[in-house]
C-alpha cells in the first residue's frame, strides 16, 4: 500500500511527456479538462493528443502525488458556460516541473557538448 | 433561419449520442473509484471535443472519433485496473487509501468464471459448441464474401476497367461483331484502349503426347488495358493482327513454368500450336485476372493475335467481346449513355443485322454479378444461425442463473456488488464464447477449402477465398460482440436492482421468476421464428431445385457421352478432310454393339464449345417489327444428331446425305437445307417456317424441318431460337455425341479406341456423360440448396432445444406447484396438457413470427428461385407443419416428466 512520497521533487523525475505538458500548462493558468486537452494539442502541434479518459487518469495520478490540485468548479466561458472543475499546479508540482526542466537543460547541454546539437551561438544568425 | 435552428437541434442530437456512448464506455471500462471521481468530467471534456470535431470536420469525423475512443478508453481502463486503481477520491489534494487492487479483482473474476464453467460442463459445452458452429460458418462464408465481393481486383485503377459487349439480356456480356467493336473504339469518347478478345485454343505438339491447350485471341493492347502487361517480352502489335496474323504467341505463367522450366530466355523460342510454329514474344504474370478466364471457364495458356478483321465482316458476325478503360474523367454511366446512343445509330444505319445493344460493365461487376445474391443470402442465413445460437445461450444463462441463485446470494451477502455479480455472469459466457469462437475460426480454416472444392471453379476471385488474419479478426469480433450480448442481456435481467435485494433476503424463492419466464418465452419464440425463416428459405430452394431438375430439357441425357475432337490443322487442312474423318469415326462407332446411336455437331447440350448466335436473313420476310430481326444459335450437325439426342421433329424431315457437301476448297462450301426450332418458327415466322428460305453466311437454304427447342445451357433458362445446318467441316473442332446401350461402362474406352485407331495424333480428352455436364451446370443452385438445408436443420435443432429447455426448466421450477395440483386431484393428463399447451403457445407464436419474417424477406430470394414463388403457400404450410411436429416432440419429454412428478416427494422437497 503505497503512501505519499516525501516532498523531494527529484523523486518524481523523469516526468512522462504528458505529465510534463499538463504541469507546464497548469503552471501558466488554472484550466479545466477540455481546456487542458486543447492547450496541449496546440502547444505540441498535435504531436501529443490526450484522450479525455487518459487525461483524467494522468490528472488523478498527479493529484495523488500531490503535484496538481483542484481549484473548484466554475463556469467555462468558452464552452457553454456549464460549470467545469478547474485544476491548478501545487507548490510541489511547480518544484517538480522546474526540476524536470533543469534535468532537460542538462540533457541539452550534454547533447551540445557531444556535437549532437549545434551550439546556440552558432545556431543564431 | 429555420434551417440553422434545425442544424442546432441536429448537432445537439449527435452530441448527446456521442456523450452517451462515451459515458457507457467509461462506465464499462473503468473501476468504480475512478468513475466516481472523474467519469463525469471526462465525459464533459469528451463532449467539448466532440462538438469541436463535429463543427470543424463533420459527422464522419465524429463517428471516427467515437470508434477510436472505444479502443482508447478500453485500453486506458485496463491500464487503470492494472495500476491498481490507487488514487484520489476526488476531494482536493486528498490522498485515498487504495482499495482492493483492480488487478486482483480481474483475476478473482476470471477464477470465479472458470470455476463456474468447470462446475457445469453441460452448459459450458453447449455454449462452446454453439459459438464454434456459429462463428465457424460465419467466418467461412465471410471469407467468400470478402474474397469475392469485397476485395478489390488487384490491378491499378481496376474499377475503370470495363467489359464491352452486347447486352444479354441486361448485362453487356454477350458477343458482338468485330465491326461494332472497332466503331466503339473510334466513336465512344468515354472509352479508350478498346481491345477485343475471343476464345482460341489448339493442340500443342512437340515432345510427348499432344496436349490440348486453350486461351484466347486478343487484340493489340489487351493485357495493358487490363493493367497486366506481360512480365517478359511484349504484347501483339497492330501489324501482327488480322487475317494473316503473325506466327507469334504469348504464353501463360503456368505454361512457361511447366513446359519451359521458367527459362528466362524463353522469348524468341518457339512452340508448335496446331502444327504451326509460333515464336514466343511474351510471358504473362501468374494469377492473371482477365475476363476471358470467366467467359471461357479457364485461365488459358496460349494467346494469339486477333484474326477477326473488322473490315472483312458484317455486323451480323458476333464473335468478340471487348475490354476497355474509362477515359479520364468519364464515368461508367456516361460510357453507357454514349454506348446506347451509338448502338441506336448503328442499328438504324445498318438494317438487317439485328438490334445492336452494346453496353459496358466494370470487370468487377461482371465477376460478382452472378454470385452476389447467393453469397449475401448465405451470409444472412449463417448470421441467423449464430443469432439463434446466441439466443439459446441467453436462455441457458438465465436458467443457470436462477439455478445458482444460492451461490449468487451468498456472494451478494458477503458484499459483492451488483457489478461484481454481473461481471461473473458475463465473463462466464464471454470465456466459453471466446473458446468456441477460437474453435470456430479453426473450423473455418478447414471448412473453406471443403466449400471451395464444391464450387464450380470459373470465378477468378476464388483464388483469394481463404481464412486470413482479417477474416479471423472479423470472426473474433463477431464472437465477442455476440457473446457479450448473450451474457449481458440475461445478466442484467437476472441482477435487476430489486432482485439483488431478493437475493440477499431470501436466497430467492421469489416472485421475480415470472419476469424470467416471460423473457425465456420471448427468447424461445424468437428462436422458433428465426428458424422458421431459415426453413422457409431452404424449403423454397429445395423446391426450386427439384423443379429445375424436372424441366423438360428437350432431349434425353441418359447414357449420352460427349467427346470434344480437335483436329490438328496440318493433317486436316480442308473442310472435306475434317468431315471425312468425323464421318469415319461415326461409322465405325455405329458398327459397335456398345453404341446405340452416334452423331457429331458443332455444339452439344451443356457444352460451351462453339455456342454462338448469328443474325439470320429470311427471304420475303414480312413479319418485320414483331420481335426484332431474326437471329438464332447456329448448330452445324451430322444427319442423325437430333435423333441421337432423342429429339423428334414436330414438322418436316431430318437432314439427309444429299444435304451435305464434301468440299476441299472454301469456294465449294455451301449449305442447302436448314432446320429451325419451334422457338425460332414462333418468334420470327408465326409458326409457318417450313419451306421458307433462310440466308446465313451468304448461303440460301430451305427450312426442311422444325425441331423442338432444347435447353442447351442452364435448364432454367428460357428456350432460345436455334438454326440447325448440315455439318460441313468448316470448324476445326466438333463434338462427338454417342448414346450407349443402357448400363454399358465400356463406352468411353470404345470411343477412345475407335478414334485412336483412325488417327493417334488427335488429342483425346475426358468423355463426360450429359448428366455430368448438367450436374456441373446446376452445381451452384445445388450447393446453395444443400448449404441452406444444412443450416436450416441446425437452426431447427437449436430451436427444438430452446423449446425443450424452456419447458424442462418450467417443470423443474414448478415441481412443487405441480405436486400440489396433483395432490389436489389433477391427473397426469391434465398436468402434461398444461405443459403441452405452454409448448404450443411458444411454437404458434414463433411460427407466426417466422412466417411473417419469411413473407417480408421473400423478395431477397426471388432472383434465385426457379419455378416457385418466394411466397409459395405449400412451402409455408409445410414449414409450419414441420415446426409444429418438432415443437410437439420437444414439449413431449418435459410434459411426460411433469406427469410423473410424485406429489409427496415434490411437496417434501419444496
Question: Tens digit of pLDDT for each residue in B14-27?
Answer: 888 888 888 888 88
What is residue B89's predicted lDDT score, i.e. its pLDDT?
38
Minimum Cα–Cα distance from A87: chain B residue? B92
Please tell me which residue, B122 or A89, carries the higher pLDDT value: A89
Question: Of A2, A32, A37, which has the smallest distance from its Cβ to B49's Cβ?
Answer: A37
Task: Using a CB–CB cutoff of 8 Å, tell me whether A32 touches chain B.
Answer: yes
Judge whether residue B810 has pLDDT over 60: yes
B893 vs B456, more confident: B893
Q: Confidence class of residue B852 from pLDDT cuts 50, 70 and 90?
A: very high
Confidence class for position B739, pLDDT limits 50, 70, 90: very high
Q: Is 50 exceeded by the pLDDT of residue B97?
A: no
Mean pLDDT of B744-751: 85
Mean pLDDT of B494-510: 51
What local confidence, expressed as pLDDT, does residue B599 receive? 93
Residue B690 CA to residue B141 CA, distance in Å, equals 53
- Per the CB < 8 A criterion, the answer to whether B796 and B529 are in contact is no
Q: Which residue has the cell 469480433?
A: B477
pLDDT attached to residue A22: 93
Whether residue B714 has pLDDT greater than 60: yes
Q: Using a CB–CB cutoff of 8 Å, tell me whether A18 touches chain B.
A: no
Cβ pair B73:A33 closer than 8 A: no
Test A56 with B95 for CB contact under 8 angstroms.
no
DSSP β-bridge partners for residue B703: B674
Give strand pairing partners of B165.
B359
Note the pLDDT tens digit of each residue in B771-802: 888 887 787 788 888 888 888 888 888 888 88
Say if residue B185's pLDDT is above 80. Answer: yes
Contacts of A70 in chain B (CB under 8 A): 91-93
Query: Per-residue pLDDT tens for B40-51?
Result: 888 888 988 898
Considering only residues B428 and B1, tell me which one the structure prediction assigns the higher pLDDT. B428
3-class state of residue B483 by DSSP: helix
* Dihedral pair phi/psi, residue B680, rounded to 5°: -60, -45
How much is the pLDDT for B169? 63
Nearest CA in chain B to A52: B42
Chain A residues whose CB is inside 8 A of the B52 CB are 38
Is any Cβ of chain B less than 8 angstroms from the Cβ of A6? no
- Assess A114–B contact: CB distance below 8 Å, yes or no: no
Hey, is the C-beta of A85 within 8 angstroms of any chain B C-beta? Answer: yes
- Interface contact A88, partner B, CB < 8 A: no
B411-461 pLDDT, tens digit per residue, is: 777 777 667 777 778 888 888 888 898 899 888 888 888 888 777 655 666
* CB-nearest partner of B88 from A32, A51, A63: A63
Band (pLDDT 50/70/90 cuts) for residue B892 is confident
pLDDT score at A120: 66
Q: Is the pLDDT of residue B88 over 50?
A: no
For residue B26, what is the nearest residue in chain A, using CA coordinates?
A53
From the list B25, B44, B87, the residue facing A64 with the nearest CB is: B87
Check CB contact under 8 Å for B34 and A57.
yes
Residues 6+ apart with CB under 8 A from B121: none
Q: Is the pLDDT of residue B910 over 60?
A: no
CA distance B898 to B828: 8
Helices (H) and strands (E) in chain B, counts: 26, 21
Assess contact for B896 and B832: CB atoms under 8 A.
yes
pLDDT over threshold 70, residue B738? yes
Interface residue of B11, B25, B34, B38 to substitute, partner A, most A CBs within 10 Å: B38
Residue B504 pLDDT greater than 70, yes or no: no
pLDDT at B506: 47
CA distance B177 to B196: 10
Cell of B90: 476526488
How far away is chain A from the Cα of B62, in angstroms, using its nearest Cα?
Answer: 14
SS3 of residue B199 by DSSP: strand
Q: Dihedral (C-alpha) B69, B75, B76, B78: value to the nearest 10 degrees?
A: 140
pLDDT at B495: 67
Interface mutation vs chain A, best among B25, B29, B48, most A CBs within 10 Å: B48
Q: What is the pLDDT of residue B295?
A: 67
Alpha-carbon distance of B840 to B844, in angstroms, equals 6
Give the number of other CB atoms < 10 A from CB of residue A14. Answer: 13
DSSP conformation letters of B579-645: HHHHHHHHHHHHTSTTEEEEEEES--TT--TT--EEE-EETT---TTSSSS-EEEEEEE-TTHHHHT
Per residue in B303-352, pLDDT (tens digit) is 999 888 777 777 767 778 899 999 898 888 999 899 889 888 888 887 76
Mean pLDDT over B494-506 rounds to: 54
- Angle B528-B532-B534 (CA atoms, 0-180°, nearest 5)? 120
Cα-based distances in Å from A106 to A9, A16, A100, A111: 16, 17, 10, 9
The full 3-state SS of B407-461, as one line of letters, equals HHHHHHHCCCCHHHHHHHHHHHHHHHHHHHHHHHHHHHHHHHHHHHHHCCCCCHH
Contact B87 A3 (CB under 8 A): no
Residues comprising chain A, all counted? 125
CA distance B777 to B607: 9
Q: Has residue B851 got a pLDDT over 80?
A: yes
Q: Does A48 touch chain B (CB under 8 A)?
A: no
Say whether pLDDT at A122 is over 60.
no
Q: What is the model's pLDDT at position B76? A: 81
Q: Which of B147-161, B204-218, B377-391, B635-649 has the weakest average pLDDT?
A: B204-218
Mean pLDDT of the region B839-866: 87
C-alpha cell at B428: 462466464
Taking the C-alpha atoms of B180, B183, B187 and B189 in order, what is their torsion angle to the nearest 10 degrees?
70
Angle between helices A33-43 and A17-28 (to 10 degrees): 110
State the smallest CA–CA distance between residue B419 and chain A in angstroms.
20
A1 contact residues in B (CB cutoff 8 A): 97-98
Mean pLDDT to the nearest integer, B610-620 = 80
**A82 and B CB contact within 8 Å:** yes
Q: Please provide the average confidence, as pLDDT, over all residues in chain B.
A: 82
For residue B251, the tally of other CB atoms under 10 A from its CB is 29
B168 has a pLDDT exceeding 50: yes
For B467-499, write each residue's pLDDT tens digit.
Answer: 888 888 888 888 888 888 888 877 777 766 445
Q: Stretch B582-596: mean pLDDT, rounded?
A: 91
Q: What is the pLDDT of residues A5-54, one digit of tens each?
A: 457 888 888 888 889 999 999 999 998 888 899 889 888 887 887 888 88
Q: Interhelix angle for B363-403 vs B513-549, to 10°? A: 150
Q: How confident is the model at residue B207 (pLDDT cuts 50, 70, 90)?
A: low
Cβ neighbour number for residue B874 with a 10 Å cutoff = 10
In this structure, of B85-89, B242-246, B715-719, the range with the lowest mean pLDDT score is: B85-89
pLDDT at B144: 85
Work out how many CB contacts closer than 8 A connect A with B: 80
Region B260-281: mean pLDDT is: 87
Residue B623 in this model has a pLDDT that exceeds 80? no
Interface residue A52 vs chain B (CB under 8 A) = yes
pTM of structure: 0.67
pLDDT value at position B881? 92
Residue spans of alpha helices (H) in B283-417: 291-296, 332-349, 363-403, 405-413
pLDDT of residue B95: 39
* pLDDT computed for residue A95 by the predictor: 93
Residue burial B310-323, b: 16+ Cβ < 10 Å; e: rest: beeeebbbbbbbbb
What is the Cα–Cα distance from A27 to A31, expressed in whole angstroms?
Answer: 10
Q: Is B37's CB within 8 Å of A60's CB?
A: yes
CA angle B180, B183, B184 (to 5 degrees): 90
Measured CA to CA in angstroms, residue B167 lies from B325, B340, B617, B624, B751 at distances of 18, 11, 21, 22, 40
Number of other CB atoms surrounding residue B681 within 10 Å: 22
Residue B893 has a pLDDT of: 85
Q: Does B12 touch chain A (CB under 8 A)?
A: no
What percentage of chain B exceeds 90 in pLDDT?
Answer: 12
Cis peptide before B252 (omega within 30 of 0): no
Please state the rounded mean pLDDT for residues B393-401. 83
Residue B590, pLDDT > 80, answer yes
CA atoms of B213 and B255, how far apart (whole Å): 10
Amino acid at each position: 500500500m503505497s503512501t505519499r512520497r516525501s516532498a523531494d521533487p527529484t523523486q518524481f523525475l523523469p516526468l512522462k511527456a504528458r505529465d510534463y505538458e499538463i504541469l507546464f500548462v497548469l503552471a501558466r493558468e488554472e484550466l479545466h479538462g477540455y481546456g487542458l486537452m486543447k492547450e496541449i494539442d496546440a502547444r505540441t502541434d498535435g504531436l501529443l493528443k490526450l484522450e479525455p479518459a487518459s487525461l483524467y487518469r494522468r490528472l488523478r495520478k498527479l493529484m495523488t502525488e500531490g503535484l496538481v490540485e483542484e481549484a473548484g468548479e466554475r463556469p467555462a466561458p468558452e464552452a457553454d458556460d456549464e460549470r467545469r472543475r478547474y485544476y491548478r499546479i501545487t507548490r510541489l508540482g511547480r518544484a517538480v516541473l522546474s526540476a524536470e526542466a533543469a534535468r532537460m537543460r542538462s540533457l541539452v547541454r550534454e547533447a551540445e557538448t557531444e556535437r549532437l546539437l549545434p551550439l546556440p551561438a552558432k545556431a543564431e544568425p | 433561419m429555420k434551417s440553422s435552428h434545425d442544424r442546432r437541434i441536429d448537432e445537439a442530437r449527435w452530441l448527446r449520442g456521442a456523450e452517451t456512448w462515451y459515458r457507457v464506455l467509461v462506465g464499462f471500462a473503468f473501476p468504480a473509484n475512478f468513475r466516481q471521481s472523474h467519469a463525469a468530467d471526462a465525459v464533459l471534456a469528451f463532449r467539448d471535443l466532440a462538438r469541436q470535431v463535429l463543427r470543424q470536420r463533420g459527422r464522419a469525423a465524429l463517428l471516427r472519433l467515437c470508434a477510436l475512443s472505444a479502443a482508447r478508453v478500453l485500453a486506458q481502463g485496463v491500464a487503470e485496473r492494472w495500476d491498481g486503481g490507487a488514487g484520489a477520491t476526488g476531494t482536493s489534494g486528498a490522498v485515498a487509501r487504495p482499495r482492493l487492487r483492480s488487478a486482483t479483482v480481474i483475476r478473482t473474476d476470471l477464477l470465479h468464471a472458470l470455476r463456474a464453467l468447470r462446475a457445469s460442463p453441460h452448459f459450458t459445452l453447449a455454449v462452446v459448441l454453439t459459438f464454434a458452429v456459429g462463428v465457424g460458418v460465419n467466418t467461412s462464408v465471410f471469407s467468400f464474401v470478402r474474397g469475392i465481393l469485397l476485395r478489390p481486383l488487384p490491378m491499378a485503377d481496376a474499377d475503370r476497367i470495363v467489359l464491352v459487349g452486347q447486352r444479354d439480356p441486361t448485362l453487356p456480356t454477350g458477343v458482338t461483331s468485330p465491326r461494332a467493336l472497332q466503331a466503339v473504339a473510334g466513336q465512344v469518347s468515354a472509352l479508350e484502349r478498346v481491345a477485343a478478345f475471343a476464345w482460341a485454343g489448339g493442340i500443342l505438339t512437340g515432345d510427348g503426347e499432344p496436349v490440348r491447350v486453350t486461351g484466347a485471341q486478343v487484340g493489340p493492347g489487351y493485357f495493358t488495358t487490363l493493367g497486366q502487361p506481360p512480365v517478359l517480352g511484349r504484347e501483339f502489335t497492330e501489324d501482327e493482327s488480322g487475317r494473316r496474323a503473325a506466327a507469334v504467341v504469348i504464353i501463360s505463367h503456368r505454361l512457361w513454368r511447366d513446359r519451359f522450366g521458367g527459362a528466362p530466355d524463353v522469348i524468341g523460342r518457339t512452340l508448335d500450336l496446331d502444327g504451326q510454329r509460333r515464336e514466343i514474344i511474351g510471358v504473362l504474370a501468374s494469377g492473371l485476372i482477365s475476363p476471358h478466364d470467366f467467359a471461357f471457364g479457364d485461365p488459358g495458356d496460349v494467346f494469339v493475335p486477333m484474326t477477326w478483321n473488322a473490315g472483312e465482316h458484317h455486323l451480323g458476325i458476333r464473335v468478340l467481346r471487348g475490354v476497355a478503360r474509362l477515359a479520364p474523367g468519364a464515368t461508367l454511366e456516361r460510357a453507357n449513355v454514349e454506348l446506347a446512343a451509338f448502338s441506336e445509330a448503328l442499328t438504324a444505319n445498318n438494317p438487317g443485322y439485328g438490334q445492336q445493344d452494346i453496353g459496358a460493365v466494370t470487370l468487377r461487376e461482371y465477376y460478382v454479378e452472378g454470385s452476389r445474391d447467393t453469397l449475401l443470402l448465405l451470409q444472412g442465413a449463417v448470421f441467423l444461425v449464430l443469432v439463434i445460437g446466441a439466443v439459446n445461450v441467453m436462455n441457458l444463462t438465465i436458467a443457470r442463473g436462477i439455478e445458482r441463485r444460492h451461490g449468487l446470494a451468498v456472494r451478494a451477502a458477503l458484499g459483492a456488488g451488483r457489478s461484481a455479480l454481473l461481471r461473473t455472469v458475463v465473463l462466464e459466457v464471454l470465456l466459453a464464447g471466446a473458446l468456441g469462437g477460437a474453435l470456430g475460426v479453426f473450423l473455418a480454416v478447414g471448412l473453406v477449402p471443403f466449400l471451395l472444392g464444391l464450387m464450380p471453379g470459373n470465378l477468378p476471385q476464388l483464388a483469394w477465398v481463404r481464412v486470413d488474419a482479417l477474416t479471423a479478426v472479423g470472426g473474433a469480433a463477431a464472437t465477442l460482440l455476440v457473446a457479450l450480448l448473450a451474457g449481458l442481456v440475461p445478466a442484467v435481467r437476472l441482477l435487476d436492482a430489486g432482485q439483488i435485494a431478493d437475493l440477499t433476503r431470501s436466497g430467492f424463492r421469489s416472485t421475480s421468476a415470472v419476469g424470467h419466464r416471460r423473457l425465456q418465452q420471448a427468447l424461445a419464440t424468437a428462436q422458433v421464428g428465426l428458424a422458421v425463416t431459415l426453413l422457409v428459405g431452404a424449403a423454397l430452394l429445395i423446391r426450386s431445385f427439384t423443379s429445375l431438375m424436372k424441366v423438360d430439357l428437350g432431349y434425353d441425357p441418359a447414357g449420352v457421352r460427349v467427346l470434344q475432337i480437335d483436329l490438328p490443322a496440318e493433317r486436316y487442312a480442308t473442310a472435306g478432310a475434317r468431315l471425312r474423318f468425323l464421318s469415319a469415326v461415326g461409322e465405325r462407332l455405329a458398327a459397335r454393339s456398345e453404341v446405340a446411336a452416334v452423331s457429331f455437331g458443332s455444339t452439344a447440350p451443356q457444352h460451351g464449345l462453339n455456342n454462338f448466335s448469328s443474325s439470320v436473313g429470311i427471304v420475303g420476310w414480312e413479319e418485320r417489327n414483331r420481335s426484332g430481326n431474326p437471329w438464332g444459335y447456329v448448330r452445324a450437325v451430322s444427319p442423325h444428331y437430333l435423333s441421337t439426342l432423342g429429339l423428334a421433329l414436330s414438322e418436316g424431315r431430318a437432314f439427309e446425305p444429299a444435304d451435305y457437301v464434301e468440299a476441299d476448297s472454301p469456294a465449294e462450301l455451301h449449305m442447302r437445307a436448314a432446320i429451325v426450332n419451334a422457338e425460332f418458327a414462333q418468334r420470327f415466322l408465326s409458326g409457318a417456317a417450313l419451306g421458307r428460305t433462310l440466308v446465313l453466311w451468304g448461303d440460301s437454304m430451305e427450312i426442311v424441318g422444325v425441331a423442338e427447342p432444347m435447353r442447351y445451357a442452364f435448364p432454367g433458362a428460357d428456350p432460345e431460337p436455334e438454326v440447325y445446318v448440315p455439318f460441313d467441316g468448316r470448324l476445326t473442332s466438333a463434338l462427338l455425341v454417342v448414346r450407349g446401350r443402357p448400363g454399358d461402362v465400356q463406352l468411353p474406352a470404345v470411343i477412345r479406341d475407335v478414334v485412336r485407331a483412325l488417327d493417334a495424333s488427335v488429342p483425346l480428352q475426358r468423355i463426360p456423360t450429359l448428366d455430368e455436364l448438367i450436374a456441373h451446370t446446376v452445381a451452384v443452385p445445388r450447393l446453395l440448396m444443400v448449404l441452406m438445408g444444412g443450416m436450416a436443420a441446425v437452426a431447427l435443432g437449436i430451436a427444438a432445444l430452446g423449446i425443450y429447455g424452456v419447458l424442462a426448466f418450467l417443470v423443474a421450477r414448478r415441481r412443487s406447484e405441480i405436486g400440489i395440483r396433483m395432490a389436489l386431484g389433477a391427473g397426469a393428463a391434465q398436468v402434461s396438457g398444461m405443459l403441452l399447451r405452454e409448448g404450443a403457445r411458444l411454437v404458434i407464436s414463433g411460427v407466426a413470427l417466422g412466417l411473417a419474417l419469411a413473407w417480408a424477406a421473400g423478395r431477397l430470394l426471388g432472383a434465385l428461385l426457379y419455378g416457385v414463388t418466394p411466397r409459395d403457400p405449400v412451402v409455408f404450410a409445410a414449414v409450419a407443419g414441420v415446426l409444429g411436429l418438432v415443437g410437439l416432440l420437444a414439449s413431449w419429454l418435459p410434459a411426460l416428466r411433469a406427469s410423473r412428478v410424485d406429489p409427496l416427494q415434490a411437496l417434501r422437497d419444496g
